[in-house]
Amino acid sequence: MIPKAPTALAVAIALAVGGVVPATAQGPIRIGASLSLTGTYAKLGKNQHEGYQLCEKELNAKGGLLGRKVQFVVYDDQSMPATAVRLYEKLITEDKVDAIMGPYSSPVTEAAVNVTEKYKKVMVAPLAATTSIFKKGRKYVFMVISPAEVYLEGLIDMAAKRGLKTIAVVNEDTLFSKAAASGAVELAKKKGLQVVYTEAYPKGSTDFSALLTKLKAANADVLAAATYFDDAVALTRQMKELNVNPKMYGVTVGGDLPEFYDTLKQNAEYVYGATQWEPTLPYPGNQEWYETYKKEFGHEPSYHSAAGYAGCIIYAEAAKRANNLDADRVREQLLKLEMRTIFGDYKVEADGFQVAHKMVTFQWQKEKKATVWPDDLAKAKPLFPTPPWTSR
Amino acid sequence: MNVVVTPAMLAQVIVSGILAGGLYAMVALGLGLIFGVMRVINIAHGPLLMLGAYTTYFLTTRAGINPFLTVPVAMAALFLVGVLLQRGLVFRVVDAPELSSLLLTFGISIALVNLAQLAFTSDLRAVEYITGAWVIGGLAVSKPRMIAFLFAAGVTAVSFVLLQRTRLGKAIRATSQSREVAMVCGVDVARIHMLTFGFASALAAAGGALLAVIVAIQPEMGGVWTFKSFLVIVLGGAGNYPGALLGGLLLGLVEQIASLFLTSQLSEVVAYVLLVLVLLVRPTGLLGGRQT
């Protein structure tokens, strides 16, 4: 005897799982990505993953995308570019995902994007900040965060507006910092500041006595330092020791970490820093998003979380406008799109290079990061000029 | 760009060079001792320094102890770690070909760094204790670096007295000069090896503890110290203890002066060119190494 009821159930299950009955063709939209869930970038990659998860949840709560549910297919690339290449190959050829999102970091994106270009798949790459990725004639890759070259733009712009004349630019001799420093030199020249001193120092430097001694002799109004954390801390400490007193002093990465203030205490006051995103910025829905994120994952988001979320939202918006998932039609929309998300503005040039997103410049004021640039986002006036160490 | 170097600037970087050199000398002395006594290049020397820095960090931030008072605690703790490492692992490669000891200590180094990442995470940490400088006749002398230098000089001086004057020190030097003869004279060579490794680890720990107030602490901070220490002992003469002192000060000065006249990037080049020159002209190091 063959029972009838279970057959109906089987059909229902098949329908629910999706894809089995081709006529309906309304399974979820599967978005594939590899992320650094283990390895060097694990912490940041996980934050980006959580950004994707929150985006997925929110899209589905609003009825999905193009009338279909959204489902992320995420693999762990162990922070290794070669692994990411393999995983994107698998996502596209074996899993046959409907869409692609970018991995964490510039090096991993640089490797993975070769695969997505080969198969003509759109990749919104929310955590790739290296300019060159977008300057190699690639067609389907889109940038979300600001490039290294503009990290010090706010500092230089404020200095020029206050009539300062000379600037010194120092940097760690690594890819990101070099790009940030060369960008700063270009911007300074454009704004009419005279670059009186530049020097690169090797990674791992902990003693800046000689560099600062020369810097002091050069007597620049502004010190723009393209740093990571260790060197930003060491530089600041030794500036105090050697009594080096620029009227403005700004750093790049590291200066925005809470540890920067914890380590330097009152010596961090007046230091300028740059950040891609802060929960306090007045972007639409930012505050609510921050609260939701904290509730969902039990910890604070970083800019990696916000950029991941925003990248996914940007892709969804473009797909919605294209009313289709076809790569060329989504690409067309991504090129046209101008959008403000919780992460800030999005607009790209014809090569996918980000031009609208603004780095925000803050200054450490009374133990807090006060946003001082750009003017439309600023919450506080910069404390200018920075008083000499001896009169603090 | 074009900054004219004045004598005052030169004097300033010489001060900084000597302060840095004192730390180099103390840390390198540890690496030199192990090499002298066991003919083992301890790649894990830097990671042991890192553990010393974490010891100070936790004692200072969790128990509120003055960071400079934690130096002996860090030394004692890492002395034990060193003894255990020697007893458990390193003793096996003392007479093995050099490659074996390199591989083993390289492995220990990787294990220590990764264990530290697991236990302490890769978050950057720092001990905020004292900042600023004493200004003496126009020269700025960094307070934390000066205090660290004085501690390092003290520890190094005590180490020399220990090596020169005590029975244990004599046994260590004897073992270093000729293991067989030392053994014949009744020195317990296995015990000397163990104590030397512990003592060298304690010197690395002292370096880490003192660095804690100067630089940020993270699991990978030690690597560069292995290389610098190696440079110092080759410059001064491997296995020749006063050589570590000379090599350390020389490296500190060369780095700073080269940074002043050239650029910071080139200062490392200059340091390693100096190494090559020393090896060419005096292959046994400036003060002459131990003959094999």
| Tens digit of each residue's pLDDT (9 = 90 or more) over A286-316 | 999 999 999 999 998 999 999 999 999 999 9
Interface of A with B in 259-318 (CB under 8 A): 259, 262-265, 267
d(CA A254, CA A249): 14
Across the interface, of A173, A233, A241, the residue whose CB is closest to B216 is A233
Q: Which two tokens stand for residue A209?
A: 């006595």
Quick check: A216 pLDDT over 60? yes
Give me the residue label for tokens 């740093």: A227
**Number of residues that this document lists for chain A:** 392
Across the interface, of B125, B140, B216, the residue whose CB is closest to A241 is B140
Residue A204 binned pLDDT confidence (cut-offs 50, 70, 90): confident
Q: Which of A231, A241, A259 would best serve as a mutation to test chain B binding (most B beta carbons within 10 A)? A: A241
* Percentage of residues of chain A with pLDDT beyond 70: 94
Cβ burial of B282 (10 Å; 0-12, 13-18, 19+) is middle
pLDDT for residue B1: 55
HSE (CB half, 13 Å, CA atoms) of A324? 9
Mean pLDDT of B136-145: 88
Quick check: B167 pLDDT over 50? yes
* Percentage of residues of chain B with pLDDT beyond 70: 98
Chain A neighbors of B248, CB-CB under 8 A: none
Residue A77 binned pLDDT confidence (cut-offs 50, 70, 90): very high
Record: contact B265-A259, CB cut-off 8 A: no
pLDDT tens sequence across A334-392: 999 999 999 999 999 999 999 999 999 999 999 999 999 899 888 899 999 999 998 88
Mean pLDDT of A175-195: 93
Across the interface, of B122, B128, B133, the residue whose CB is closest to A242 is B133
Give the chain A residue nearest B122 (alpha carbons).
Answer: A40
Q: Average pLDDT over chain A, rounded to whole?
A: 90
Across the interface, of B9, B131, B265, the residue whose CB is closest to A201 is B265
Across the interface, of A201, A210, A389, the residue whose CB is closest to B13 is A210
Give the start-to-end residue ranges of the domains of chain B. 7-281
Angle of helix A303-322 relative to helix A286-297, nearest 10 degrees, comes to: 110
Record: contact A210-B259, CB cut-off 8 A: yes
CA distance A170 to chain B (A): 10
- Nearest in space to A51 (alpha carbons), one of A334, A359, A219, A277: A277
Record: contact A197-B3, CB cut-off 8 A: yes
pLDDT for residue A392: 83
pLDDT for residue A25: 56
Give the chain A residue nearest B19 (alpha carbons).
Answer: A207
Record: contact B259-A238, CB cut-off 8 A: no
pLDDT for residue A23: 38
Quick check: B291 pLDDT over 50? no
Question: A196 in contact with B at a CB cutoff of 8 Å?
Answer: yes
pLDDT tens sequence across A101-156: 999 988 899 999 999 999 999 999 999 988 999 999 999 999 999 999 999 999 99
Quick check: A7 pLDDT over 60? no
pLDDT for residue B290: 55
The Cα angle at residue B55 between residues B54 and B58, in degrees rounded to 5: 80
Quick check: B104 pLDDT over 70? yes
CA distance A213 to chain B (A): 6
Record: contact B140-A265, CB cut-off 8 A: no
Across the interface, of A208, A217, A242, the residue whose CB is closest to B140 is A242
User: Residue type at B268?
Assistant: E
Q: Are B57 and B120 in contact (CB under 8 A)?
A: no
Angle of helix B143-165 relative to helix B71-88, nearest 10 degrees, comes to: 50
pLDDT for residue A6: 47
Give me the residue label for tokens 């985006």: A55
pLDDT for residue A128: 92
Interface of A with B in 139-158 (CB under 8 A): none
Across the interface, of A173, A217, A243, the residue whose CB is closest to B3 is A217
Is the interface score ipTM higher than 0.90? no
Q: Which two tokens stand for residue A227?
A: 């740093």
CATH of region B7-281: 1.10.3470
From residue A367, give the alpha-carbon distance in Å to each of A177, A256, A363, B60, B127. Answer: 26, 12, 10, 22, 17
Alpha helix ranges (H) inside A298-387: 303-322, 327-336
From residue B263, give the alpha-carbon distance in Å to each of A194, A380, B1, B89, B273. Answer: 20, 38, 10, 42, 15
pLDDT tens sequence across A40-65: 778 789 999 999 999 999 999 999 99
Chain A neighbors of B142, CB-CB under 8 A: 238, 241
d(CA B117, CA B111): 10
pLDDT tens sequence across B13-45: 999 999 999 999 999 999 999 998 988 999 999
pTM over 0.95: no
Give the chain A residue nearest B255 (alpha carbons).
Answer: A210
d(CA A233, CA B215): 8
Chain B neighbors of A208, CB-CB under 8 A: 264
- CB-based contacts of A391, cutoff 8 Å, min separation 6: none
Interface residue ranges in chain B relative to chain A, Cβ cutoff 8 Å = 1, 3-6, 9, 12-13, 15-17, 20, 122-126, 128, 131-133, 135, 140, 142-145, 211, 214-216, 218, 224, 255-257, 259-260, 263-265, 267-268
The Cα angle at residue B50 between residues A250 and B125, in degrees rounded to 5: 35
Q: Are A252 and A184 in contact (CB under 8 A)?
A: no
d(CA A306, CA A51): 6
pLDDT for residue A49: 96
**Residue A290 in 3-state DSSP?**
helix
- Nearest in space to A242 (alpha carbons), one of B5, B3, B139: B139
pLDDT for residue A44: 84
List the beta strands (DSSP E) in chain A: 29-35, 70-76, 99-101, 123-125, 141-143, 166-172, 194-201, 222-226, 248-251, 272-275, 339-341, 344-346, 360-365, 368-373
Question: A242 in contact with B at a CB cutoff of 8 Å?
Answer: yes
pLDDT tens sequence across B175-232: 988 888 998 998 999 999 999 999 999 999 999 999 998 888 889 899 989 999 999 9
pLDDT tens sequence across A222-241: 999 998 888 898 899 999 99
Q: Are B50 and B221 in contact (CB under 8 A)?
A: yes
Record: contact A210-B256, CB cut-off 8 A: yes
Give the β-pairing of A166-172 and A194-201.
Answer: parallel
Give the chain B residue nearest A389 (alpha carbons).
Answer: B132
Q: Are A124 and A339 in contact (CB under 8 A)?
A: no
Residue A212 binned pLDDT confidence (cut-offs 50, 70, 90): very high
